[in-house]
Structure 1
Amino acid sequence: MGKASEINGHAMPSSESTARILERSEETAEERSRESGCRRRLMEFLRRNLLVILTVSGVLLGVGLGMVVRNMNLNRAQMTYFAFPGEMLLRMLKMIILPLVVCSLVSGAASLDTRSLGKLGGIAVAYFLVTTLIASGIGVSLAFIIKPGVGAGALNTNNLGLESVSSNKETTDSFLDLARNLFPANLVAAAFRSYATDYKMVSLGNNTNGTTIYQKVPYGTEADGMNILGLVLFAMVFGVALRKLGEEGEELIRFFNAFNEATMVLVSWIMWYIPFGIMFLVGSKIVEMEDVVLLVTSLGKYIFASILGHVIHGGIVLPLIYFGFTRKNPFSFLSGLITPFTTAFATCSSSATLPSMIKCVEENNGVDKRISRFILPIGATVNMDGAAIFQCIAAVFIAQLNNIELNAGQIFTILVTATASSVGAAGIPAGGIITIAIILEAIGLPTNDLSLMLAVDWIVDRTTTVVNVEGDALGAGILHHINEQEAKKQQKQPEEELAEVRVDVVANAQAEEETSPLVMRQTKFLEVTPEAIESVL
């Protein structure tokens, strides 16, 4: 008999060759399934991270487009037209801020019971204050180590062709305005205006020499810009009030919840426009830049100190705080927030980044909606770690520029004022420049060099905003973790009590099948007193 057997006169392969063929077919099937598995995983990755990839690509394309268009020497009108798609993105994001902040805070405060609301609110305030104070400390330390203003005494606004920025606002009035804005006199007006103190000179008569004596008297004016601080406080208190109403407030809570969900749907639509808008937003900024080389060489140490402070705080301090509370990898948490960070980098506005931040924190990181929608709007208003860093560096820089030695009292004043004033800083581009004036007034430094900060603010403000929104996101992650731990503790307590009851009642083998303690005890009773059975029957 040969290697091949014959069936009906036809040669058939041997069992060895059949096994080989089967092995080959299995290998090819495995390879095919492996390839299809890899392709499936790649497609799943692209589908899940498409928006992130498009957003990052938008920034890179924007840089390239800006460099190309910059060489065309566009006039002011043409620059405005070129920046139009980016302007539309900012307008869309700002449009959604008011309903998002009010509805999310009302529904968030109403969904949490008063006890946990007070506890979470207290932890959030402590977190915001401590991180901002640490940020201020980093800023002051770096300013004294790097000394950006030393040797730059010859630098002034004239040789850089900058306009002077004047600020005559008293420190006391700045903090009083902060308190006034917490309680807006008109809620409708608070949606587009905030309170601001101005001054007028009032004549008090003549002195003995015949010279007229004037006194600077403060009076209230309305400044353009949403009073988000007042709206935040009102929405929180209103949410708590609805919770207290019980059944009567349920319908209104459901209304705000539905309004909130509808707003988040709008946010998800706007987010698909972000990559296109960001491309023109970044490109237009590059086109508008003046003599960048001169600015960077003259203010390079200040820019370097500010960005280094942001890297230290955002890359080391905040992740360590998050890890200390949660024992989880902070960078895996942050990797789900690339879209909001890119938006923050491009728009320089923590308020404009709020819609995409809420969406990504909930969907990518699984943070409880009640936590994220309660804490993130507050964080976008009061938590300004990045701003505190560059404000402290700017204050020390201006002191060094004017050859003024700062004493311990003035340094402490910078720390406290930067921490307190960053609460009232508007979450808009260049919002922190106004608060630098408050710090300078508090320590008695001239404000005429503020235009130097404004000249390079478009560089520093990008990393500032990224650190601001990172602090908010990690704060939401920490509160979510604390809330989960509390919930687990509450679940364990009743389980332990039930376990004790089971141990007490399951005393005999016959009663193990039963679940009710009453039935168990009845069975036990029947075993002990058989006479009772007869009497019952």
Structure 2
Amino acid sequence: MDKKSELNGHAVAPPGASEQPQEKRSVGQKLLEFVERNLLVILTVSGVLVGVGLGMMVRPMNLTKAQMSYFAFPGEMLLRMLKMIILPLVVCSLVSGAASLDTRSLGKLGGIAVSYFLVTTLIASGIGVTLALIIKPGVGAAALNTNSLGLETVSSDKETADSFLDLARNLFPSNLVAAAFRSYATGYKRVPAGNDTNGTILYQKVPVGTETDGMNILGLVLFAMVFGVALRKLGEEGEELIRFFNAFNEATMVLVSWIMWYIPFGIVFLVGSKIVEMEDVVLLVTSLGKYIFASILGHVIHGGIVLPLIYFGFTRKNPFSFLSGLITPFTTAFATCSSSATLPSMIKCVEENNGVDKRISRFILPIGATVNMDGAAIFQCIAAVFIAQLNNAELNAGQIFTILVTATASSVGAAGIPAGGIITIAIILEAIGLPTNDLSLMLAVDWIVDRTTTVVNVEGDALGAGILHHINQQELKKQQKHEADGELTEVQVEALANVQAEEETSPLVTHQTKALEAMPEAIESVL
């Protein structure tokens, strides 16, 4: 009675009293709530605009190289913070993610993810080649050379076979500690291999293993996944270590939330310093404008049409409402040009703004940041066709197919760092037998193209996580329905047992009980 009169009391007087002030302040209140909820997004986007303005103001001052480095310092600090958090984030999130899923779920989840990454990258490569053949960015630019733009030459004499072998070697690092800051790369040395008939010494190119600076994320990703599965197999003995990695993971995400408030300030100087450092932009854009246009158009088509359509096809939900919750990571990607550096804010926003399951986001996003490079595949294909047109080389069907396959496969090993895809273009050029001395042209405008490239890269990862989350939710609903049907059957069998003789019904009851005992009590991921 007390509860009822209380409810009635609240129903009569207070709601009317409390609703009225709310109506009066509704517009201001809504605006304030919107600003509070999206403060980080507003600050981050503003950071880009302020950075452009600041760069344009400082540009006429003609700063020296030393002064430029001082001006870029706050932006450099942001990149260092983001890169600092990558190692613990990738390792801990993958170990805890793999340990929280049973082996069967992990296999199915991994299979869907790999298929999605492979198909989207192949589509991206196809878009890149098609646009390059339609727009013909290299036709008419044959007079252009690196000397006219004052560029340094970029040489790469790496064999295509060695590039793919290095990819396999990096999957299994010989030293796990060294993999945190070094990658394996094949170098070459010339060794005397006898004399020819004239007495001239003949030299042979011999591959030699070398270490290059840069985290071997591919090796760390594979180790973390396998280690997580091994902990799961241990059962109770592995529980302590799983809890340790889970706690480490959560603590890392707290650090990420702190770093994210520095992002808007750091972005101002990252963008501003790039504008100050620019060489003769007019000459670059007039000479390489068609290449820049083709690359950015490819990114707009893939990121604005193809990927959202794939997401809609799987989920039947509005892809743009999903993407609207990821403006901060997209802005970070645009400013830093690094998929890896965007990973911390991407994981945080996907979970908090879009409600993606932690087990899925922390398992898929680190893998995606390493192997899913849709944006890179587009610009690499366009660059390869551009250089072919520049050298007046007609591409046959076999060479075009080689570009598609090589770009898709080699984008897996591309470093998630600024200008990481330039090395990959060298592999594609070697595969189709074109010279690599025009690569410096790509490097000259890479800082423009790399921004949209990185945004498309991280968008593909995010939508992949959204698709997997949706599939997982659908499977969960099916599982719950199946369990509910199982409970209903149990009730019917028990009722039957009460009516009929015990010897007639006991086999059924026993069978039903066994089936229920065999059914797992709780399933964390039902894929």
Q: Which residue number corresponds to residue 412 of structure 2? A: 423
Q: Which residue number corresponds to residue 522 of structure 2? A: none
Is 1:234 equivalent to 2:242 in the alignment?
no
Three-state SS of the structure 2 residue aligned to 1:223 is strand
* Mapped partners of 1:31, 1:499: distance in 2: 49
1:521 CA displacement: 8.0
Q: Which residue number corresponds to residue 63 of structure 2? A: 74
1:38 CA displacement: 2.6
Any residues of structure 2 matched to 1:255-270 within 5 Å, and which? Answer: 255-270=244-259
Matching residue within 323, 343, 358 for 1:354: 343
Three-state SS of the structure 2 residue aligned to 1:481 is helix
* Mapped partners of 1:411, 1:208: distance in 2: 41
* Mapped partners of 2:215, 2:351: distance in 1: 26
1:43 CA displacement: 1.9
Q: Give a deviation string over 1:198-221, Cα, whole Å, max 9, x none.
A: 000000121111111110000100
Equivalent position amino acid for 1:44 in 2 = E
Three-state SS of the structure 1 residue aligned to 2:354 is coil
* Mapped partners of 1:462, 1:69: distance in 2: 22
Q: Which residue number corresponds to residue 304 of structure 2? A: 315
Q: Which residue number corresponds to residue 355 of structure 2? A: 366
Matching residue within 392, 417, 420 for 1:403: 392
Q: Which residue number corresponds to residue 198 of structure 2? A: 209
* Mapped partners of 1:501, 1:241: distance in 2: 36
Q: Which residue number corresponds to residue 527 of structure 1? A: none
Matching residue within 113, 118, 128 for 1:124: 113
1:458 CA displacement: 0.1
Three-state SS of the structure 2 residue aligned to 1:429 is coil
Three-state SS of the structure 2 residue aligned to 1:71 is helix
Is 1:37 equivalent to 2:48 in the alignment?
no
1:71 CA displacement: 1.2
* Mapped partners of 1:262, 1:449: distance in 2: 46
> Is the contact made by 1:505 and 1:521 (CA closer than 8 Å) also made in structure 2?
no
Structure 1 residues not aligned, in runs of 5+: 1-26, 508-516, 523-537
Equivalent position amino acid for 2:255 in 1 = L
* Mapped partners of 2:460, 2:365: distance in 1: 10
* Mapped partners of 1:75, 1:28: distance in 2: 66
Equivalent position amino acid for 1:339 in 2 = T
> Is the contact made by 1:410 and 1:443 (CA closer than 8 Å) also made in structure 2?
yes
Three-state SS of the structure 1 residue aligned to 2:351 is helix
* Mapped partners of 2:271, 2:18: distance in 1: 49
Q: Which residue number corresponds to residue 467 of structure 1? A: 456
1:501 CA displacement: 4.3
Matching residue within 278, 281, 302 for 2:270: 281
* Mapped partners of 2:310, 2:157: distance in 1: 38
1:40 CA displacement: 2.5
* Mapped partners of 1:506, 1:188: distance in 2: 63
Q: Which residue number corresponds to residue 137 of structure 1? A: 126
Decide whether aligned partners of structure 1 residues 359 and 28 sit closer, same or farther in structure 2, where only a CA change above 3 A counts.
Answer: closer
* Mapped partners of 2:21, 2:495: distance in 1: 57
1:506 CA displacement: 6.4
Structure 2 residues not aligned, in runs of 5+: 1-15, 502-527
* Mapped partners of 2:320, 2:24: distance in 1: 30
Q: Which residue number corresponds to residue 6 of structure 1? A: none
Decide whether aligned partners of structure 1 residues 521 and 332 sit closer, same or farther in structure 2, where only a CA change above 3 A counts.
Answer: farther
Matching residue within 85, 105, 115 for 2:94: 105
Equivalent position amino acid for 1:390 in 2 = F
Matching residue within 166, 170, 185 for 1:196: 185
* Mapped partners of 2:354, 2:17: distance in 1: 39
* Mapped partners of 2:489, 2:162: distance in 1: 62
Matching residue within 318, 324, 328 for 1:329: 318
Is 1:447 equivalent to 2:447 in the alignment?
no
Q: Which residue number corresponds to residue 35 of structure 2? A: 46
1:35 CA displacement: 2.7
1:505 CA displacement: 6.2
Note the aligned Cα RMSD (angstroms): 1.7
1:315 CA displacement: 0.2
Q: How many residue pairs get matched?
A: 487
1:499 CA displacement: 2.7
* Mapped partners of 1:466, 1:409: distance in 2: 31
Q: Aligned residues: percent identity? A: 87
Q: Give a deviation string over 1:167-215, Cα, whole Å, max 9, x none.
A: 0100000000000000000000000001010000000121111111110
Is 1:339 equivalent to 2:328 in the alignment?
yes
Is 1:245 equivalent to 2:234 in the alignment?
yes
Decide whether aligned partners of structure 1 residues 377 and 159 sit closer, same or farther in structure 2, where only a CA change above 3 A counts.
Answer: same
Any residues of structure 2 matched to 1:19-38 within 5 Å, and which? Answer: 32-38=21-27
Three-state SS of the structure 1 residue aligned to 2:449 is helix
Is 1:490 equivalent to 2:475 in the alignment?
no
Q: Which residue number corresponds to residue 6 of structure 2? A: none
Q: Which residue number corresponds to residue 290 of structure 1? A: 279
Equivalent position amino acid for 1:96 in 2 = I
* Mapped partners of 1:30, 1:265: distance in 2: 37
Is 1:186 equivalent to 2:162 in the alignment?
no
Matching residue within 78, 87, 93 for 2:82: 93
Q: Give a deviation string over 1:355-400, Cα, whole Å, max 9, x none.
A: 0000000000000000000000000000000000000000000000
1:496 CA displacement: 1.4
1:36 CA displacement: 1.8
